Structure 1
Amino acid sequence: MEKPFIIAISSVSGGGKTTISKALQEELDQSKVIHFDQYDIPSPDDFSNWIENSANYNDWDLHKIDEEIQELYKQNWKYIILDYPFSYENQQLVDKIDIAFYINTPLDIAMARRILRDIYDISVLRNDLQIYLENGRKAYLQMEKVIQPHADYVISGQQPVSNIVSEIVKRIY
């Protein structure tokens, strides 16, 4: 049995990872998506401190995703799509990824998408924006500095989803 081809789709929160991953799954036969957000991933306790002191993506324990990939190896998938923010920057998965795409979405658009996606109560909005200003934006900028340059391909997140998916498909064939 042949190992599935693993495609990492990375971006900041609200950058389009999940939307692109789902659309890509529809385009690619025999494909399965692994969504980072569906796992309870142990992460650094003090996010702001993490960004300022180490910003080491290996601080996230991704063994659950690694185990899921191992299980999918046993099945007949041609492609595994990782809806996953870290691209090649976490050593637990780096050797499994065959190609990495970074969806480069302007931070204001990503934040607007997050608000539309996640905020249903206006009182929660103020808290979420405060967290973004204190820590979240630093994390977004860190990703642009570290994750984006190491991706195999950087694709504009301002394009229609169909254009982004077409560009990815063109790169993997």
Structure 2
Amino acid sequence: MSAEVIAISGVTAGGKTTLVNQLVKEFPSACAFYFDHYEFENAPDMKDILNKPADYFNAYRLDRMINNLKEAQDKYDYIFLDYPIGYENKQMGMYIDKVIYIKTPLDITFARYLLRDFANSSGNDILKWAKCYLEEARPLFITHEDIVSKHADYIMDGTLEAEEKIAKIKQLLT
């Protein structure tokens, strides 16, 4: 039997990793792969998403991640991917059975990102990031969300509590 591959997608600090970690605990025969755990040679410049989104998403060479997924395919019932780009990368898209897009308001993702990545930073560093967020990151996140969520099988409210998200996903998968 081949595992069902579920991609949990969304923008940075949208709750993907937390949800995938919880799903692996909730589903007895499951494993997870995390996009951020892989190094990609020639990763595309994030700004390319604004001008050439298809080129941006398909610039990622995901061979290692796909090979790991194939090796796990017959060992589990579910494989959860912490994978921000859903079906958009053609190389990986063919292996995904469902994409669940976590739609988290950008003010929440901004605050989470600050708490996670700037906990020990100076006020000046935080202000630099806030400026960068407004001028560069936010437009990228909006474009990312518009494209990736459009093709998702299910859009989940990112403000729901963890238990509610798990319950909804269990309903979707069983």
Normalising by structure 2, what TM-score? Answer: 0.91
Q: Indicate whether 1:52 and 2:53 are aligned.
A: no
Aligned-partner SS, 1:97? coil
Q: Which runs of 5+ in 2 are unaligned?
A: none
Aligned-partner SS, 1:8? strand
Aligned to 1:73: 73
Q: Following the alignment from structure 1 to structure 2, what is the Cα–Cα distance between the partners of residues 11 and 104?
A: 6
Aligned to 1:64: 64
Note the 1:4-83 alignment, pairs <5 A: 4-42=3-41, 43-44=43-44, 46-48=45-47, 50-56=48-54, 57-73=57-73, 76-83=75-82
Matched letter for residue 29 of structure 2: Q
Matched letter for residue 55 of structure 1: P
Note the 1:47-126 alignment, pairs <5 A: 47-48=46-47, 50-56=48-54, 57-73=57-73, 76-119=75-118, 120-122=120-122, 123-126=124-127
Matched letter for residue 135 of structure 2: E
Q: Following the alignment from structure 1 to structure 2, what is the Cα–Cα distance between the partners of residues 160 and 5?
A: 24
User: How far 1:168 sits from its partner (Å)?
Assistant: 0.7
Structure 1 stretches of 4+ moved >3 Å: none
Deviations 1:38-81 (A, max 9, x none): 1112421x432x0232022111221221121122125x211100
Cα RMSD of the aligned pairs, angstroms, is 1.3
The count of aligned residue pairs is 169
Aligned-partner SS, 1:14? coil
Q: Following the alignment from structure 1 to structure 2, what is the Cα–Cα distance between the partners of residues 59 and 131?
A: 24
Q: Following the alignment from structure 2 to structure 1, what is the Cα–Cα distance between the partners of residues 97 and 59?
A: 22
Matched letter for residue 51 of structure 2: N
Deviations 1:3-49 (A, max 9, x none): 111011001101100011011111111111101111112421x432x
Normalising by structure 1, what TM-score? Answer: 0.92
User: How far 1:114 sits from its partner (Å)?
Assistant: 0.9
Aligned to 2:157: 156
Q: Indicate whether 1:130 and 2:131 are aligned.
A: yes
Q: Following the alignment from structure 1 to structure 2, what is the Cα–Cα distance between the partners of residues 104 and 63?
A: 28
Q: Following the alignment from structure 2 to structure 1, what is the Cα–Cα distance between the partners of residues 79 and 140?
A: 26
Identity fraction in percent = 34
